[in-house]
Structure 1
Amino acid sequence: MRRLSVLLSLLVLAGCGRAATSAMPAGPAGPAAARPGYGVADRFDPGMLRMRLIGAQPGWPGPRLPLAPPPRKLDCGRLKCVALTFDDGPGEATDKVLDLLAAHHARATFFVLGQMVTDKSRDFVRRMVAEGHEVGNHSWDHAALAGLSADAVRRELDRTQDVVRRVAGVRMTLMRPPYGSTNHEVENVARQEGLAQILWAVDTLDWRDRDPAIVAKRCCSAKPGDIVLMHDIHPTTIAALPRLLDELDRKGFTYVTVSELLGSPAPGKQYFNR
């Protein structure tokens, strides 16, 4: 009991000492309250803290839930920031994507499908969080949300929110509508769910053109402040990553998450770039 009490105290103190702890540390521009996590006073989630606390106990048979690194202080008004994003995973090659990003000290945002977060792939989501990447909601099964009722849209988002919270202990604050399919109804549901709609400025079309050279060239056309769309489920995209990361390095880009790029994106609002 004494060990449990001490650990609880340390976790609470650690949370109160940070601006936020979410799926990925958000940028410095917005207020901490806009970036929910178990360490934010007015968005305190005792259930999430309990999950982390239990998972840290010796002998606990369940997963040890990850903690995101501290928020970074970045000024994307001064730096050449680019937000690389990956949709439709986690897939079999997601760990390779994470390896390549780590080799370049790059952070990215992964918009995951709820049905893809399985017992086999859940460790990839935990690794995303632990390595400072951002996790976003891409619906449960890649439905075209604009063709659904408000209740059906909510189910698509809520099921994915629940599975990611369960396996990684984080609450996502971003969503990407599959196919970019959105309308006023989707916007309203996203706002109610506390999710900003993240679209893109650069589409690599890696789902269509399975050519690493083409994918890399399109990605490297990005300008400072752009959000780039890729997928972590295509082998050719993984093959393109070393080339495009080397080129973006050469151009002096800083790799940031979407929330680092935008600061505190507003729920429901659509974003294409900074």
Structure 2
Amino acid sequence: MRVGLLLLSLLLAAGCGEARSSAVPSPSSKSHHAFRAGAQFDAQVFGNRLAGRQRGWPGPRMPVAPPPRKIDCKQLKCVALTFDDGPGDRTDAVLDTLAAHRARATFFMLGQMVTDETRGFVRRMVSEGHELGNHSWDHPSLVGLSPEALRRELQRTQDVVQQVAGVRMRLMRPPYGSTDKRVEDATREEGLAQILWDLDTLDWRDRNAALVAKRSGEAKPGDIVLMHDIHPTTVEALPRLLDELDRKHFTYVTVSELIGSPTPGKAYHKE
């Protein structure tokens, strides 16, 4: 009885005494629970609610990234695997494979692809130490846009990812690798460095898992490797290419771990 009174007092103190229908999503499940007046009291749900209040409830708690790693890519064979155009319905399989190899990567995402169905993947990326990057809202060639449309492509994607994962991205990859002085200026204003690549697996063109794995296996230390997590053949190739890079004793790093602190507007690496 005393426990019940104590929990009720805490509930009222937290400002949660009124009836609510909102839910706190579980990071590992799509199911939702809500505490409603007249419903059976659930201490675990209450604990989640209280934790959420302490972090700025209403809304789900943001994922927590692992602490920064100290990696010396001058001493190690570093490679930065990058994935464009997601998140898609196969991104979870990509994350599973990366986790099995203890590999971190960088995901350059389209804002329009961050939906109710894929937002959990974005949050998982953060919690597992991957880096998030801006790939525009819907993949236009940025050099052909008006200044207003260019800013909108970047800002909408920045905003939706921050809303979903609590992360303000520092990197972007221009669609098609197409950039110019106006794109440089716009990305500088938005605080985004431009990330190109050293090795293009051409997985977007050649939907052949064996070929994609072979090309990726040719990566050299310091390379940024371009892939796409939306193609089934790339998902199929990923275990094989990681096995090959493991055999060569590569260390998998994010782009920022590879290049250091990125400078907004600056373009890094090009095949």
Aligned residue in 2 for 1:198? 195
1:26-37 equivalences under 5 Å are: none
Equivalent residue for 2:100, pick from 89, 103, 106: 103
Residues 178-220 of structure 1 show CA distances to partners (whole Å, capped at 9, x for unaligned) of: 0001100000000111100000000000011000011011111
What is the TM-score when the length of structure 2 is the normalising length? 0.79
Are 1:84 and 2:114 an aligned pair? no
1:54-133 equivalences under 5 Å are: 55=52, 62-133=59-130
Aligned residue in 2 for 1:175? 172
2: CA distance, partners of 1:94 / 1:214: 20
Paired residue secondary structure (1:272): strand
2: CA distance, partners of 1:247 / 1:55: 43
1:150-189 equivalences under 5 Å are: 150-189=147-186
Paired residue secondary structure (1:142): coil
Aligned 8 A contact 1:114 1:159 in 2? yes
Aligned residue in 1 for 2:214? 217
What is the TM-score when the length of structure 1 is the normalising length? 0.78
Aligned residue in 1 for 2:32? none
> Could you tell me how far 1:223 is from its partner in structure 2?
0.6
Aligned 8 A contact 1:84 1:229 in 2? yes
2: CA distance, partners of 1:54 / 1:171: 23
1: CA distance, partners of 2:143 / 2:120: 31
Runs of 4+ in structure 1 deviating by more than 4 angstroms, as ranges, are none
1: CA distance, partners of 2:65 / 2:174: 25
Larger radius of gyration: 2
Change (3 A) 1:55 1:169: farther
Count of residue pairs brought into register by the alignment: 224
2: CA distance, partners of 1:209 / 1:230: 11
Aligned 8 A contact 1:56 1:64 in 2? no
Aligned 8 A contact 1:55 1:65 in 2? no
2: CA distance, partners of 1:212 / 1:258: 24
Paired residue secondary structure (1:82): strand
Aligned residue in 2 for 1:267? 264
Aligned residue in 2 for 1:257? 254
2: CA distance, partners of 1:264 / 1:82: 17
Gaps of 5+ in 2: 1-8, 12-49
1: CA distance, partners of 2:198 / 2:252: 15
Residues 25-55 of structure 1 show CA distances to partners (whole Å, capped at 9, x for unaligned) of: xxxxxxxxxxxxxxxxxxxxxxxxxxxx974
Q: Percent identity?
A: 75
1: CA distance, partners of 2:177 / 2:53: 39
Paired residue secondary structure (1:199): strand
> Could you tell me how far 1:149 is from its partner in structure 2?
1.6
Paired residue secondary structure (1:171): coil
Are 1:242 and 2:239 an aligned pair? yes
> Could you tell me how far 1:242 is from its partner in structure 2?
0.6
CA RMSD of aligned residues (A): 2.0
> Could you tell me how far 1:57 is from its partner in structure 2?
5.0
2: CA distance, partners of 1:255 / 1:101: 9
2: CA distance, partners of 1:148 / 1:78: 42
2: CA distance, partners of 1:69 / 1:130: 7
